[in-house]
Amino acid sequence: MCKTHLHPFLAALPKVEHHIHLEGALSPSLLFTLAARNSITIPTSDAAFGSPAALLDRYNRFSSLDDFLHYYFIGMKCLVKEQDFEQLAWEYFLKAKSDGVVHAEVFFDPQAHTGRGIAYETVINGFTMACQRAEGELELSTKLILCLLRHLPVEDSTTTYAQATADFETGRLAGLGLDSSEKGFPPGAWKEVYGTAKTKGIRRTAHAGEEGPVEYIREALRELDVERIDHGIRLAEDTDLMREVAEKKILVTMCPLSNVRLRCVDDVKELPIRTFLDSGVMFSINSDDPAFFGGYILDNYCAVQEAFNLTAREWEGITRAAVDGSWCNDGRKDHLLEQLNQTMVQFGHG
Ligand SMILES: Nc1ncnc2[nH]cnc12
Ligand SMILES: [Zn+2]
């Protein structure tokens, strides 16, 4: 609960989440539960893995993206069976629902699992079951986005993409993303995979300008022809590029609490949210890895409100952009916009 008078309105807003890594919703308590259930000993001498409380405490002190990724990749070793992947995603959807999420486009990292001997089908079947349950039981529409890991050789991405071809064709997968370590891994190296995806009509996004330079945002746009930029907080450093992003209606999926925890900025107030609003850049507010960064989507909305004191009309515009930039069909978008209109009327902003 944030201190602003807009809190009830922010809580009620029909939210769309575009930037959440399902593996980043793995809480220390679920990690320990699954490790026990699967008889997995996390092989580390790090005292942080001594208890859920110790791990949560360590998550308060990440020094960089790579420091976080170290814990992210170790922790997910407790995910073994379809049921584990389903439970992880289901627990996220329950929390998202309670935060007012009505549509969620979620990332996952298959290479982080296939690389340790878990079958690709185990991962996607588990996540798909949770998505279907969320649609049926929570009225929460969902899309799955497969992310490629940029710290691994590009050939590894090509193999993973080939493995997923049928799921892209049937629509079980809605899009392609690129994540993991950023500095030193310029996105242009994935040009061929993204080019193939484009010819097949597959939606495309990439993490860029999180820790890495604004040039990586330009490269993701030019070389990968992405339709979204994940994070993109360095975009404001290049006004021409920012204008282009605004004109082309490229959605920037921002994750304020993540940026503070990973020390990309010292404070939410440093994020270019006011600049983006003034320049017509479309953006959404998201949680990234909520179990690691101390907050789910509503906490991120509250952090932005406390930092920027936005008006209800500005939040309406942000929500509208989030719906417009989604990868669901027009019918679903119309329905989400109608929900937004009703919320505006309910709070006296009709
Ligand atoms: N914030 C982040 N940046 C890059 N890759 C990630 N994978 C999970 N979270 C990430
Ligand atoms: Zn991310």
The pLDDT tens digits for 31-82 are 999 999 999 998 778 999 999 999 999 999 999 999 999 999 999 999 999 9
Ligand 1 near 105 CB (within 6 A): no
Q: Are strands 228-231 and 203-208 parallel, antiparallel or unpaired?
A: parallel
Q: Is 135 a catalytic residue?
A: no
Cα dihedral angle (69, 74, 78, 82), rounded to 10 degrees?
Answer: 50
Q: Which protein residue has the closest C-alpha to ligand 1 atom 3?
A: 180
* Ligand 1 atom at minimal distance to the Cα of residue 24: 8
Count of CB atoms situated within 10 Å of the CB of 267: 11
Q: How far is the centre of ligand 1, averaged over its atoms, from the C-alpha of 347 (Å)? A: 35
Residues in Cβ contact with 346 at an 8 Å cutoff, skipping those fewer than 6 apart: 12
Q: Does residue 55 come out as left (phi exceeding 0), alpha (psi in the -120 to 50 range) or beta?
A: alpha
pTM beyond 0.95, yes or no? yes
Indicate if ipTM > 0.95.
Answer: yes
Average pLDDT over residues 98-107: 98
189-223 residue pLDDT tens: 999 999 999 999 999 999 999 999 999 999 999 99
Tens of pLDDT, residue by residue over 263-276, are 999 999 999 999 99
Determine the average pLDDT of the residues in 276-287: 98
Break the chain into its structural domains and give their ranges: 12-346
Is the confidence at residue 4, as pLDDT, over 90?
Answer: no
C-alpha distance from residue 275 to each of 204, 213, 270, 339 (Å): 25, 18, 11, 28
Decide: 284 in ligand 1 pocket, CB within 6 A. Answer: no
pLDDT at residue 312 in the model: 98
CA distance 197 to 146: 12
**Structural contact between residues 214 and 246, judged by C-beta atoms closer than 8 angstroms:** no
CATH 3.60.21.10 fits 12-346, yes or no: no
How many angstroms separate the CA atoms of 117 and 68, rounded? 23
Q: Is 288 in the pocket of ligand 1 (CB under 6 A)?
A: yes
Q: Does 21 belong to an annotated binding site?
A: yes
Average of per-residue pLDDT across 237-246: 98
| Cα–Cα distance measured from residue 267 to residue 245, given in angstroms and rounded to the nearest whole number | 24
Banded pLDDT at 350 (limits 50, 70, 90): confident
Q: What is the pLDDT of residue 76?
A: 97
Q: What is the pLDDT of residue 1?
A: 66
**Cβ atoms of 135 and 85 closer than 8 Å:** no
Point out the ligand nearest to the CA of residue 209.
1
Compute and round to an integer the Cα radius of gyration of the chain.
19
Which ligand sits closest to the CA of 179?
A: 1
Instruction: Kindly give the residue spans of alpha helices, DSSP state H, lying in the chain.
Output: 7-12, 28-37, 52-58, 65-75, 82-98, 111-114, 120-138, 154-170, 191-199, 214-223, 239-247, 256-261, 273-279, 290-293, 297-308, 312-324, 330-346
Mean pLDDT, residues 9-32 = 98
On the 0-12 / 13-18 / 19+ scale of CB atoms within 10 A, 93 is buried
289 annotated ligand-binding residue: yes
